[in-house]
Structure 1
Amino acid sequence: MKILKKAFKIFGLVVLALMASICIYACASVPKLSKSDKAMIAAVMQAPLPELVNGETGFADSQSHRIWYERIRPEKNVKGSVLLIMGHGNDALSWPPDFISGFTDQGYEVIRFDHRGTGLSTSTEKWKKKNAYTLTDMSEDVIAILNTIGLKKAHIVGVSMGGMIAQLVAINHPEKIETLSLIMTTGDALGEEPEPMSEELLPKMISAVLKHGVFGGKKGKIKLQLVQRKLLMGDATGDIDVQEMAETSLYNQVKRDGYHFITARHHQQAILLSSSRYAPLQKIQLPTLVIHGELDPVIPISHGKKLAETIPNTSHFWVANMGHDLPEAAIPEICEEMMLHFEQSK
């Protein structure tokens, strides 16, 4: 019996040592923050937080979910409405302020919202894998927002998973769409063609959560947002507005409901439950713009090219120095391209 207990003890120590080694190796693969990054984060934590929600806010009821949204109006007369659909695991505040002002400065109102399980959106039902919601369900959140606001149509813009949701809105509710803009997304996340989506980044993203997000407190979660942004850039180069990202992260933690890491798993399940959309996309007749970064480390640009070839009446814009994010340097030209897209649809 003593020998057996000793064997179990040794086995336990070996397992712990192995897990520790894996964690050390995994954390070593995470990009390191510079001294200036850390100094800026420390400064933001000491300074008063700016108000990041200045528009008209409300909730839309969709199935068992209450979806929080914000309606940001321009100073000029409203030319139209732009509804933004963010990627998986992210909320309304993930949209870069310059991207939003790129529309409002040109007279368009912007509507952004918190996905299910993020920000201030809530549910009356606990998520269970056996009855998990799908991307089609999440597309109904968009319709619920438009109906709650009283908008007949909007320019629909989706990035990554948000682009997948936007496709389903176009397939099932084309009458609600003025124009469709699909950014760094795909018509089939699980397909082998044009090429499989990259899985190399996922372990690094998880490692970043282990290193910064679990025990790091508020400062750790700010670091996590910054590190994950660096990972999503891939081989693309360019500066990141660290102050802006730190203020957004801290605002989310202090004035909203913070971050729920498990939500990313729920959204991933929604993606896994979805089938290819390429066949129905061939039938939509909506002015469509496909935008993709040539250096996207998550969804290769070949997916954007296949979307552009599949959807009728589609134009495209390939961004040379762009990964799986909206880089500050590329936002002006992306917004300019989208303005042309909106105007040409009239």
Structure 2
Amino acid sequence: MAAGMARHGRIEIAYEVEGPDNGIPLLLVMGLGLSLLFWPEGLRRQLIERGFRVACYDNRDVGLSTHLTELGLPSPLVLLGRRWTGYTLADMADDAVAVLDDLGWQSAHVAGVSLGGMIAQTLAIRHPDRVRSLTSISSTPSARIGRPHPGALAALATLPVRDREAAARQMAHVFRIIGSPGYPRDEEWIRDAARRSFDRAHDLNGMRRQLAAIISADDRRPALQELRMPVLVVHGAEDRLVRPSGGRATARAVPGAKLVIFPGMGHDLPALLQPAVAEEIAALARQVSPSG
């Protein structure tokens, strides 16, 4: 595995890349407030076994990437009015372009989960020439579609934690609420990823700034109708954080998109489903060319 740092203006984006040097380029985009460490090793391995060279990165305000602390904490009035101007999903999509540029990838297959799915959608809309195929996982085209269950929303309303063990306990609690009820949950992996992410950087206000960008974004459905690359939408039937209507709306918006809804899946990527998700992404890539 190799690490790098891409630049988008004054923003630095930390990334890691693994897999064969001549592999099919695949960019993974993570969700709200989570570092690249939350991409399951099993899923990455499954993707590499299918011929991909896999890159993942820390979004701005997460991990080793730039934290925009000078923007402060978005006020509740800003969130209610959908008027956050600190940065946008378009800015975050352009961060992804910076990663592609630093890797020397003219284009790549792109898969994003939750907020990462929104960023991936925005990337495909803004830079269709850079996206060979789009996979949107556990996501939505609009913050007003697939709104979270109150219990899931409450789980995210966390207080700052003071140490890595508190971070581990908190993340385990969150995934008990939003995770997949139909599959075993690897709680020790969640705790370990949370500990390592805390060591990497802990910034609750950064997560809230990302949330403000989500809430302030326009409905992407009109622009998604213009996409012409292959598109896959994956969602869990038991997702309580972005309910399945979000995935269905995404798939309906894109001509020819494939929708896969997994029974028993929540707002995570359980180990028993990782081979199926990897195969769906690989099959999508084969629509572009037999070699991806």
Partner of 1:205: 156
| Conserved 8 A contact 1:163-1:185 | yes
- Partners of 1:87 and 1:247 lie apart in 2 by 18
Range 78-87 or range 241-250, more displaced = 241-250
For 2:51, which of 107, 113, 116 is the aligned residue?
107
SS of alignment partner, residue 70 of structure 2? coil
Match of 1:133 among 73, 87, 99: 87
Q: Report the counterpart of residue 324 of structure 1 in structure 2.
A: 267
The one-letter amino acid paired with 2:140 is: T
- Distance across 2 between alignment mates of 1:204 and 1:287: 34
Alpha-carbon shift at residue 243 of structure 1 (Å):
3.0
- Equivalent residue, structure 2, for 1:89: 33
Aligned runs of 1:13-162 on 2, under 5 Å? 55-74=1-20, 78-123=22-67, 126-128=70-72, 129=74, 131-162=85-116
Report the CA distance shift for 1:157/1:320 in structure 2 as closer, same or farther (over 3 A).
Answer: same
* CA shift for structure 1 position 293: 0.5
Please say if residues 92 and 114 of structure 1, whose CA atoms lie closer than 8 Å, have aligned partners that are also in contact: yes
Q: Is the 8 A contact 1:205 1:231 kept in 2?
A: no
Q: In the aligned structure 1, how far is the partner of 2:188 from the partner of 2:161?
A: 22
Q: Which runs of 4+ in 1 moved over 3 A?
A: 128-131, 195-200
Contact 1:189 1:197 (C-alpha < 8 Å) held by counterparts? no
Aligned to 2:134: 180
Q: How does 1:193-272 map to 2 (within 5 A)?
A: 196-206=147-157, 209-210=158-159, 214-215=161-162, 217-233=163-179, 236-254=181-199, 256-257=200-201, 259-272=202-215
Structure 1 residue 152, shift from structure 2 partner: 0.5
Give the alignment's TM-score, normalised by structure 2.
Answer: 0.89
Q: Is the 8 A contact 1:296 1:322 kept in 2?
A: yes
How does 1:331-346 map onto structure 2 within 5 Å?
331-346=274-289
Match of 1:286 among 229, 238, 247: 229
Q: Give the secondary structure class of the aligned counterpart of 1:333.
A: helix
Amino acid of the residue matched to residue 270 of structure 1?
A: A
Q: Distance in 2 between matches of 1:119 and 1:204?
A: 21
| Contact 1:64–1:125 under 8 Å retained in 2 | no
Name the CA distance, whole Å, in 1 between partners of 2:229 and 2:119: 15
Question: Which whole-Å deviations, capped at 9, do the CAs of 1:155-192 have from their partners, x for residues lacking one?
Answer: 0001111111111111110000111001011111125x
**Within 2, Cα distance between the matches of 1:201 and 1:225?**
13
Deviates more, 1:120-129 or 1:293-302: 120-129
Inter-partner Cα distance in structure 2 for 1:345 and 1:313: 14
Residues 117 and 196 (structure 1), Cα distance of their counterparts in 2 relative to 1, 3 Å cut: closer
Counterpart of 2:263, as a letter, is A
CA shift for structure 1 position 124:
7.1
CA contact (8 A) 1:184 1:296 kept: yes
Q: Contact 1:64–1:123 at 8 Å: present in 2 too?
A: no
Moved more, 59-68 or 117-126: 117-126
Instruction: Note the C-alpha offset of 1:123.
Output: 4.7
What is the TM-score normalised by the length of structure 1? 0.76
- Aligned counterparts of 2:178 and 2:71: Cα–Cα separation in 1: 27
Distance in 1, matches of 2:149 and 2:10, equals 33
> Is 2:68–2:206's contact at 8 Å kept on the other side of the alignment?
no
Which has a greater percent of helix? 1
Residue equivalent to 2:81: none
* Seq. identity, %: 29
Task: Tell whether the 8 Å contact from 1:286 to 1:313 is kept in structure 2 after alignment.
Answer: no
Gaps of 5+ in 1: 1-54
Provide the rounded CA distance (Å) in 2 between the counterparts of 1:109 and 1:196.
34
Structure 2 unaligned blocks of 5 or more = 75-83
Matched pairs, number: 279
